[in-house]
Structure 1
Amino acid sequence: MSDPFWAYLETLPGKSAALFDWDKALSGWDRYPLFRDNFLQLTKNHATAVDCPTECGLGCPRSVITHAKTDIRAVCIEKEHAAIQLSPRQTLIYRLKQSAINGAICTAMGIEHREAKLDGLPHTWRLGDFIPTAGMDFPVVLTMQDSKDALVEVVRSLCLSTPKPFVVIAPTRLHLSPAVETLLAQKDSLFVALNEDLYLGDAPRLLTCRDKTEIFAPLIDQVPGPDSGGTVFFMTPPGTTWPQIKIQFRDGHTVTIWAGDQSGRYTYTQMGMASRKNGNPTEQWKLLEGFANSSGEIDWHSRYASDKLKKQKQELSKHLREFFRLDDDPIEWVKDTKTYRCKFRILPEGAEVY
């Protein structure tokens, strides 16, 4: 059975309620005191109404009437039931401590926490990114809507503003509709219901019911492997920088690459540097080999320089950024010596060091 607070959150406008209401909805849950003390935040407001605890079928709230400091009552406006005595604390408004719950979700699910509120989308936060391998990231968005139509509008907006596949997280599947599923399928994106995958443990932190590789399997499946037949990319360890990468030519068509605990052999085709016309190595691959034969540096006096060197360097940098999934330029321009210099180590066939 899933933790009940996920479903309750979808019934709360503003994600806040009187303590009386939080108690009424969640007091039968054994983790409620832990949740209340760590994920709810006291506001300065007092309730003017609370949910009716009786089963009369009307579903109307009870008005909070203060007769004296110690005489506060929840009154049935239909006069169907007797008033309920409330303590002053029960009338205090508590809201979800959003930053705490967002951080706990990220920690539990292995999401790189880069939180930001999304303008124009109510009760919606960019939590961060799921990163199955360095440089390949999937934005993760948490949204807490109270209707199917509201969820459709949020997902439609995300589809228009997010160029890559992404993850939508919601408390439950209650408001998931065929329209939302269609929009996400068109973007190769994923929906995750928190009540199915996260629960509150004995400590004030969330735990997963499934391993994150299972939760995010549809996204991980989008990561091509070295044996996929065409252009692939290197499984760059998270946090890797260009100086931590070493490339060595094995022959005119193949290199071996090392970065952290990852290594492998790749052809020019796998690295995206095969001609579309005839399948031969491109000028960018030849330039990469030129860097290997020149201790990682090429200037305008090099035998590998030409009037197209600047353009070829730009194209080579683009291929390397895509292959390693790193954002910054792998080849720098050294102004003093008018030299293009690799930030990574690159060696020719048979070399040991340079």
Structure 2
Amino acid sequence: MAYELDRPALDTALAKVFDLIEETDAGTDLPGTTRIGVYSPYAGYRFPVYLAIQIEPDDFSEAVDGLLGRNGTPFILLSPTRELCSSKAEKRLTDKRSGFVSLSESVAIGDKRQLRLLRPLDEILAQFRGTNLPPPKEDGAKAFFPTPPDATWGDVSIRFKDGHTVSVKAKSAGGVFNYTQMGMANKKNGDPTVQWELLKTFAEERGILDWSSNKAHRRNQKRRELLAADLRDFFRIEGDPFRLTDDGKGWQARFLISPDE
């Protein structure tokens, strides 16, 4: 009796166990190879994930070459075992900052025939993450904030600890950063930029800045645009972090912000 592999069901199960963002169009023009989802550990970082099931090493090698030729960015390639992935094929992947994962070494069938990981996902992808993700924090320079991939501006909170430091949260991620680490230091003298001062003003005004504030100024329009760009760059969340107030006479932060108390 011959059994046929339910490839869509397998792709879906693997996408779930590897915590991938699923895609509706998983097909590729490479035999035995499907794109099962996107690995997005942080906002702004998205890596395609493929599953290649071949019988012969040469077929697997052709799939590797095909994926490398079609992807301008790093990707992750899953395969049932390591047997078909020669050292040369794996080197071609690592040379392009891509990763290989053997399912037999990483996944097992658990209770109720559900797939489960044999090790934590971060450990399975440790080499890939080390190659493609920045370190969590860089002292004395702009820091990397690990914004969750599904975070919105409504999930962000900023609380000033003092004039130069803030406590930041975005869903499960958090940390304490100064103005330099948030990319708001003057390149000439290292002092806080006007964007940082405006961020402090928004904190003092509890997130709303309009003409009733003694800090209101016609130059704040341009400064707000620059501040919005700095915040988008730091958090890597799309969209404007500010909106017009209901009366159209001021700006309101889409995130929570509060002063040092």
TM over 0.5: yes
Secondary structure of 2:239's counterpart equals: coil
Counterpart selection for 2:85 from 148, 161, 176: 176
Query: How far is 1:231 from its partner?
Result: 1.8
- Equivalences for 1:146-295 in 2 at 5 Å? 146-158=59-71, 160=72, 162=73, 165-177=74-86, 180-201=89-110, 203-221=112-130, 222-226=133-137, 228-236=139-147, 239-260=150-171, 262-295=173-206
Amino acid at match of 1:270: Q
For residues 77-132 of structure 1, give each alpha carbon's deviation from its aligned partner in whole angstroms, at most 9, with x where no partner exists: xxxxxxxxxxxxxxxxx3x2122101211232333333532454444333223343
Structure with the larger strand share? 1
Q: Identity across aligned pairs (percent)?
A: 37
1:105/1:261 CA distance change after superposition, 3 Å: closer
Using the alignment, how far apart are the partners of 2:67 and 2:89 within structure 1?
Answer: 9
Deviations 1:209-246, CA, capped at 9 Å, x for gaps? 32212101124432422355422233445644323332
| Corresponding position of 2:240 | 329
The 1:263–1:125 alpha-carbon spacing in structure 2 relative to 1, beyond 3 Å, is: same
Give the superposition deviation at 1:308.
6.6
Q: Distance in 2 between matches of 1:175 and 1:232?
A: 40
* Residue 345 of structure 1: aligned partner: 256
SS of structure 1 residue aligned to 2:23: strand
| Count of paired positions | 254
Does the CA-based 8 Å contact 1:106-1:112 persist in structure 2?
yes
**TM-score, normalized by length of structure 2?**
0.80
What residue number does 2:217 align with?
Answer: 305
| 1:156–1:180 CA distance, 2 compared to 1 (3 A) | farther
Q: Which runs of 5+ in 2 are unaligned?
A: none
- Cα shift readout 1:36-58 (whole Å, capped 9, x = no counterpart): xxxxxxxxxxxxxxxxxxxxxxx
> Structure 1 residues 282-291 or 300-309, which shifts more?
300-309
Mind listing any 5+ residue stretches in structure 1 that lack a counterpart?
1-18, 23-93
TM-score by length of 1: 0.61
Structure showing greater Rg: 1
Which amino acid letter does the alignment assign opposite residue 197 of structure 2? Answer: K
Paired amino acid for 2:70 = S
Structure 1 residue aligned with 2:19:
110
* Aligned partners of 1:199 and 1:206 also within 8 Å: yes
Contact 2:40 2:47 (8 Å CA) reproduced:
yes
Native 8 Å contact 1:226 1:232 kept in 2: yes
Superposed, 1:77-116 pairs within 5 Å as: 94=4, 96-116=5-25
Residue 39 of structure 2: which of 110, 123, 130 is its match? 130
* 1:121/1:234 CA distance change after superposition, 3 Å: same
Q: Please, what is the CA RMSD of the aligned residues?
A: 3.0
CA contact (8 A) 2:33 2:63 kept: no
